[in-house]
Structure 1
C-alpha cells in the first residue's frame, strides 16, 4: 500500500478522517485520548512507517535522562555534544523526574518536535512507545539501560559486572575480608550487575556473602551517608566498603568523618564512575572508571547512523570499565583484621 492509501485505510478502520490520523502522527494534542489510542493501535497493526524523504526531521537530538541533578549527567551531555556539534545538530534535554518510564506527554512532545533521533539514559520505552517512534521513523538508542531493552533495541552500556568484580577483588587483595557494599537501586540493571560482581569476587575468595553488609541506595550523596552510617555502626563493622557510584562513596566519606574514622587507615572506600570530583576529594577516591563520555559519544553516533538509514554491525555495545587506584584504599590495620 502507498502511504496515502495506508492513512486512508487506517482512517476508515478507526472511523475518523485522514487529517485526524495525520494529527496523531504529528503528536498534536487536539485529539481525544480514545481516538489517539485506537489510531496508534492500527498504525502498529499495519506496520506503518513514515517515509523518511517525505517527512524531514528537525536538526535536533533528543537526550532523555532519568535524572539531571548530578555531575554524572554532565559527563553524558559532554559526550553527546562532542558528536552533534560536528553534525550541525542541537540537543534537547528531557528528564523523567526519577521515573524509569516516560509518560505520554513526553511522547507527544517528541512526535511534535520530530527530532533526528532519541538517546535515552537510564530510561526506557514500553512496546507501545517503541512502536510510536518506529512508525514516525524516529530512531532511538538506550544508554545504560535501566532494564532489559530487548534484543532488537540498540543499546550502549559498560561492563558493570566486571567493574564490581574488580573493585571487590582490589579490596580482597589488600587483605580485607569484611567488605560492605552501598549498592544502587536493585530495579536498575547496572546496579544489579555491580552487586553480582561484588558477590562473585567474594565467592571466588571463599568468603560467604553477609546480607547485613549490603545496603541499597539510590545513587545520591544523602543515601550514601545514611546507609553508610548504618554499616559503620554495626557491632562488627566492615573494614572496607564498595559504593555503587562515586556520589554514594562521598556520602560514605562524610559518615566516616562523623564517626571519627580515617580513610584509608580505618576504612577503605571504592567508588564507581570516576567523576572529575573523585580525584579532588580528600583522600582521592579509588574508583571504577565508567567511560561515560565515550558511551554517550557511541550512543549519539549510533542514533545518527540509524537516522541516515545505516544499520549498526551490532545492536549492543559494552565499553570496558577500569579500576583507578588512588589513596582511599589500603590494607586493614592489624587491630581491625577479622
Structure 2
C-alpha cells in the first residue's frame, strides 16, 4: 500500500479510499487503480480482516429461481457496493437444508452481516450466526434469533387487497398458487389467504408449485382442468403468475376473458407480458434502504411495507 501511495503521490488513507472508490475525484480513483494494476498490488482480504476486525463482506441469501428475488438481490448488492461493501450471494433454492449450509458458510467466512429472504424464518440454524454478525431478515422476522433486524411485509393487506379485487369483479372460486416449501410450515401470505377467503365467502383452491417458472407450469395446469375450475388465480409471486399464463394458453384459455390472474411482486416483466399482469407492487428502493441501514443496528419500530395493487389487463369479470 505504501508503494502504491508513493507512486500516486497520495497519503495512505487517500490511496485506500481511492482504491475502494468511496472518496476522491473520478480521475484520482482511476489513476490509483491503474497504478495498482501496473505494480501488481492486490488487497489481501485476510490481512484486512485481521487489521480491522471486519471483512467488508455481507452475505445475501434468497431463493434465486424466483424472478423477483433475483432482481431484489441485485438491488441489495448495488446498495452495498455504494457503501464500500461487497456481497457474497447464495441461492437457498427454497430448501431449508440448503439454507442451513449457506448459514454455516457465512459463519465460516466471518461475514460482517447477512441480508436474507428466509426460506424458514423459524429455524434454529439462524443462531449459528453469532451476535457479532448483523443479520437482517427481509419479509419475515427470524423468531429463533432475537435481536436480528427485520424488514417486514404487510402480507395481510396484500392478500386482502388482491382477493377483494377479484371478488369485486365477481369471482367466487379462486385458485391460490403458492411457492412449494416441502419441509416448512405454510408461509404467512399463504395462511392469510385461506383466512381472508373464509371471511369474505370466497372459495379458495390451494396448490403449491416450484418457484421456477418453467417447473411450475404443470402444477398450474392442474388448477385449470375440469368443469369446476377456478375463474381466477391468485399467485403469491409473479414467477408463478407467468407459469399460469403459459398453462392457460396450453389449455386454450384466454386472459382475462376465460381466466383472470393476479401476481404478487410487480416484477419488471409484469408490464411486458400480454396481457400485462395485475399484481401487488412493493417499494423496492425503500425496502433495500431499510434493510442495508439495519446492518448498523435494528430499527424500532420495525419497518413494515404495504404493497400497492397495480391493475392491468390480466383481470376482468368472469364470463357469463
What TM-score results when the alignment is normalised by the length of structure 1?
Answer: 0.70
Q: Aligned runs of 1:172-211 on 2, under 5 Å?
A: 172-185=167-180, 192-207=187-202, 209-210=203-204
Q: 169-178 or 115-124, which moves further after superposition?
A: 115-124
Cα deviation per residue 1:93-133 (whole Å; 9 max; x = unaligned)? 12334422567764564345333211122245854652552
Structure 1 position 296, deviation (Å): 3.0
Q: How does 1:103-252 map to 2 (within 5 A)?
A: 106=102, 109-123=105-119, 124=121, 126-127=123-124, 129-130=126-127, 132-134=129-131, 137-145=132-140, 148-149=143-144, 151-185=146-180, 192-207=187-202, 209-210=203-204, 213-252=205-244
- Give the C-alpha shift of residue 266 in structure 1: 0.8
Task: Give distance in 2, aligned partners of 1:103 and 1:220.
Answer: 17
Change over 3 Å in CA distance of 1:84–1:201 after alignment to 2? same
Residue aligned with 1:280, SS:
coil
- Name whichever of 54-63 and 224-233 sits farther off: 54-63
Matching residue of 1:320: 306
The reply to whether residue 287 of structure 1 matches residue 279 of structure 2 is yes
Find the partner of 2:56 among 55, 59, 77. Answer: 59
- Quick one: structure 1 residues 262 and 191, their matched pair in 2 at CA, closer, same or farther if it must change by over 3 Å? farther
Q: Residue 296 of structure 1 is aligned with which of 285, 288, 294?
A: 288
Shift of 1:275: 0.4
2:122–2:143 Cα contact (<8 Å) kept: no
**Counterparts of 1:199 and 1:90, CA distance in 2:** 40
Figure out how many residues of one structure are paired with residues of the other and give that number: 271
CA deviation string 1:58-87 (max 9, x = no partner): 12222122x323432332223323432332
Give the match's secondary structure for 1:276.
coil
Name stretches of at least 5 consecutive residues in structure 1 with no aligned partner: 1-51
CA offset at residue 171 of structure 1? 0.5
1-side partners of 2:181 and 2:108: how far apart?
34
Query: Could you say if the C-alpha distance between residues 329 and 81 of structure 1 is closer, same or farther in structure 2, counting changes exceeding 3 Å?
Result: same
Asked whether the equivalents of residues 134 and 148 of structure 2 are also in contact (C-alpha less than 8 Å), the reply is no
Q: Does the CA contact (< 8 Å) of 2:127 and 2:145 recur in 1? A: no
Contact 1:267 1:332 in 2 (8 A): yes
1-structure distance, mates of 2:80, 2:99: 26
Structure 1: distance between partners of 2:242 and 2:79: 31
Note if contact 1:61-1:119 (Cα within 8 Å) is conserved in structure 2. yes
Q: Tell me if structure 2 keeps the 8 A contact 1:164–1:197.
A: yes
Distance, in Å, in 2 between the alignment partners of 1:261 and 1:200 is 29
Write the distance in 2 (CA, Å) between the matches of 1:105 and 1:178.
Answer: 40
Question: d(CA) in 2 for partners of 1:199 and 1:126?
Answer: 24
Displacement of 1:259: 1.4
2:180–2:210 Cα contact (<8 Å) kept = yes
How far has the Cα of 1:170 moved from its partner? Answer: 0.3
Question: Matched residues in 1 for 2:106 and 2:87: separation?
Answer: 13
SS in 2 for 1:272: coil
- Contact 1:162–1:197 (8 Å) recurs in 2: no
Aligned counterpart, 1:255: 247
- 8 Å Cα contact 1:169-1:201 kept in structure 2: no
- Structure 2: where are the runs of 5+ without partners? 1-48
For residues 90 and 75 of structure 2, the distance between their equivalents in structure 1, rounded to whole angstroms, comes to 16
